[in-house]
Amino acid sequence: MVRTAIAIAALMVSAGGALAQGDVTLGEQMFGDRCAGCHTVDESTKQGPGLASLIDRPAASVEGFKYSDAMIEAGLAGVVWNIETLSKFITKPRSVVNGSTMGFTGLRNPDDVANVIAYLATFSPPPAQ
């Protein structure tokens, strides 16, 4: 029993730290439905900045993209896009960057959020081990 509990705890810790806890295929569909109108997953920009190499990059760091003052300030204040900040931002953009010009109210379902992040993570280099 004790051993099982420890094993489960360990599993939860590693899942919490892993990037790909969401479903990449579902995330791709969700991205296509909800994000692709404004974002690419390469370096090119549309209405929003390209989201390649997003994981672990500071907010507002795509050169040449005209971010809102609020997003630039978030970057200067040290906001970095990781699982935690992205989960919050995609759920409710203005909870992370008050005044962001991203015209998107957020995804309500935590599974959708995790799936989109898992999909985006496939366009980022793997985290250093």
- Shortest reach from residue 16's CB to ligand HEC, in Å: 20
102 is a site residue for ligand HEC (CB under 6 A): yes
Stretch that binds ligand HEC, among 3-11, 16-24, 68-76, 121-129 (CB under 6 A): 68-76
118 is a site residue for ligand HEC (CB under 6 A): no
The residue from 100, 114, 118, 121 that contacts ligand HEC (CB under 6 A) is: 100
Stretch that binds ligand HEC, among 1-9, 16-24, 34-42, 121-129 (CB under 6 A): 34-42
**How long, in residues, is the chain?**
129
Backbone angles phi, psi at 22, to 5 degrees: -85, 175
126 is a site residue for ligand HEC (CB under 6 A): no
Torsion of CA 120, 32, 45, 43, to 10 degrees: 40
- Shortest reach from residue 61's CB to ligand HEC, in Å: 6
- Shortest reach from residue 46's CB to ligand HEC, in Å: 8
- Shortest reach from residue 87's CB to ligand HEC, in Å: 10
Backbone angles phi, psi at 31, to 5 degrees: -60, -45
